[in-house]
Structure 1
Amino acid sequence: MTFKHIVMWNLRGDSAEEKARAIHLVRGKFEALRGQIPGLLHLEVGVDLSHADYACDVVLYSEFDSQESLASYATHPAHLRVREEIGDLRIARHQVDYAAH
C-alpha cells in the first residue's frame, strides 16, 4: 500500500511575471526534496494549464511507502525549510492524504 499526499496552492503575484516567478520557486524547492526524505517514493509538481478562475496554480503530488513516512515528512527539516521559504507566496492551500490500495 502506498500513501499519497496531494497539496494544491494559489500563489501570490500581482502580474503574470510575478506569479510565474513564484511558481518557478515553489516547483524548484519541492523538486529539490527528491532523495532527501526517507520513504518518499515519488514526487511531482504540476502547474495549472486551464487558468480557470476556480483552479489552483500549483499541485504537489507525492507518494510514500508508509503512513509513518508520510507523517515523518511533515516534520522533516528539509520539508520544514521549504515550507518556511515559500510561506509568504501562498494565498490558499488545499491538501488531501489517502491510502491507495
Structure 2
Amino acid sequence: MVKHIVMWDVRGNTPEQKKESAMLVKSAFESLSGKIPGLTKLEVGVDVSAVDYACDVVLYTEFETRELLDAYASHPEHLRVKEVVGDVRIARHQVDYI
C-alpha cells in the first residue's frame, strides 16, 4: 500500500472566502471516491486550528500499488478535479510513502 498526502493553501482575502475555497477543494476531491482504480481510501479535511503556519486543506489517500498511484496522476477524473481547484490553490505540498 502507498499513502499519498497532499496539503494546500487556498485563496481568500477573508476567513469566509478561504473557507469557501477550502470547501471547493474538499468537495472536488471527494467526488473521486469510487472512480479511481486502486484508490482504497480517501479523506479530505479542512483545517480548524487557524494557526498561521497550517495548510488549509489536506487530502489523505491510500493506493494498492505505486503503479496505481502513478496512473492516478493522469486519470481523466483526477485531471478534471485539478482543473476545478486550480484557481483556488496558492501552495501545494505532497508526501508519498509506503
For residues 39-84 of structure 1, give each alpha carbon's deviation from its aligned partner in whole angstroms, at most 9, with x where no partner exists.
0000000111111111100000000000111000011000011001
SS of aligned partner of 2:26: helix
Provide the aligned C-alpha RMSD in A.
Answer: 0.6
Distance in 2 (CA, whole Å) between partners of 1:24 and 1:46 is 9
2:56 — aligned with what? 57
**1:6-85 to 2 correspondences below 5 Å:** 6-85=5-84
Contact 2:23 2:46 in 1 (8 A): no
Provide TM-score, normalisation by structure 2.
0.97
1:93 — aligned with what? 92
Distance in 2 (CA, whole Å) between partners of 1:71 and 1:98 is 13
Alignment size in residue pairs: 98
* Structure 1 unaligned regions, length at least 5: none
Deviation of the 1:21 alpha carbon: 1.0
Distance in 1 (CA, whole Å) between partners of 2:39 and 2:30 is 12
What is the percentage of aligned positions where both structures have the same residue? 61
Aligned partner letter, 1:8: M
Deviation of the 1:88 alpha carbon: 1.1
